[in-house]
A and B are shown apart, each in its own frame.
Chain A
Amino acid sequence: DAMVIQNPRYQVTQFGKPVTLSCSQTLNHNVMYWYQQKSSQAPKLLFHYYDKDFNNEADTPDNFQSRRPNTSFCFLDIRSPGLGDAAMYLCATSREGGRETQYFGPGTRLLVL
């Protein structure tokens, strides 16, 4: 009965080689978020979708893109990964905005060689 699913759990890519991380949800929530979490730090919001409306955080590098083809799926594309992009990437959903509980997936750990 997994609610927020992330694939793969571990991803290894090469420096500069595009990579896509995926997230799916069975909750039918309006909002989907992507966070980057580096070791021993709080999650850092990269962007979120409210339905089809994309909202980018001001300090998210252009190297990071996202797609939400339908309610259930959301993708994180890293166009040219650098060594500094190695991190845990967390997907989350909420029914509505910030006062609502966010439900997190297990995360994808990205390693850049």
Chain B
Amino acid sequence: GDSVTQMEGPVTLSEEAFLTINCTYTATGYPSLFWYVQYPGEGLQLLLKATKADDKGSNKGFEATYRKETTSFHLEKGSVQVSDSAVYFCALGFSGGYNKLIFGAGTRLAVHP
């Protein structure tokens, strides 16, 4: 079945370090891919998305590229801040009969000064 696999956390970094959070997916169709972020005690917010192969989503210094050949959508940021500390969820969504997102397990990021 369709699924999303994320690297396990927690990921602990110092401020200004480079961030990569790996995400791979298994899908029978052509999904859109999303990264959502959840700050402590809050709901999820869309961070970025990509709708087709080779699309790059970007927002707030974060980037991810839809790689169909490797079925991946890795999240990167060149210089993290303490305020980026949160849980990051990779997800995929389909058109047609599906009306739901399939989430990965989430990766907790902790950034220290």
In the complex formed, the residue of B with least CB distance to A105 is B43
Pairwise interchain contact B106-A42, C-beta atoms closer than 8 A: yes
Asked whether A98 and B89 contact (CB < 8 A) given A48-B100, A104-B43, A106-B42, the answer is no
Q: Which residues of chain A are within 8 angstroms of B95 by Cβ–Cβ distance?
A: 97-99
Pairwise interchain contact B42-A99, C-beta atoms closer than 8 A: no
In the complex formed, the residue of A with least CB distance to B102 is A98
**Alpha-carbon separation in the docked complex, A61 to B43 (Å):** 23
Q: Which residues of chain A are within 8 angstroms of B103 by Cβ–Cβ distance?
A: 42-43
Contact of B96 among A6, A43, A97 (CB under 8 A): A97
Pairwise interchain contact B94-A45, C-beta atoms closer than 8 A: no
Q: Does B105 contact A (CB under 8 A)?
A: yes
In the complex formed, the residue of B with least CB distance to A90 is B43
Binds A, one of B11-19, B45-53, B62-70, B77-85: B45-53
Asked whether A101 and B45 contact (CB < 8 A) given A33-B100, A48-B100, the answer is no
Within 8 A of B (CB), among A1-49: 4, 6, 31, 33, 40-43, 45, 48
B8-36 vs A: 1/0 string, CB under 8 Å?
00000000000000000000000110101
Identify which of A4, A43, A92, A103 gathers the most chain B CB atoms within 10 Å of its CB: A43
Pairwise interchain contact A97-B43, C-beta atoms closer than 8 A: no
Pairwise interchain contact A98-B101, C-beta atoms closer than 8 A: yes
In the complex formed, the residue of A with least CB distance to B93 is A98
A68-104 vs B: 1/0 string, CB under 8 Å?
0000000000000000000000101000011111111
Q: How far is the CB of B112 from chain A (nearest CB, A)?
A: 20
Asked whether A102 and B101 contact (CB < 8 A) given A41-B106, A42-B106, A97-B95, the answer is yes
Binding site for A on B (CB under 8 A): 31-32, 34, 36, 41-46, 49, 51, 89, 93-96, 98-101, 103-106, 108
Binding site for B on A (CB under 8 A): 4, 6, 31, 33, 40-43, 45, 48, 50, 55, 90, 92, 97-107, 109
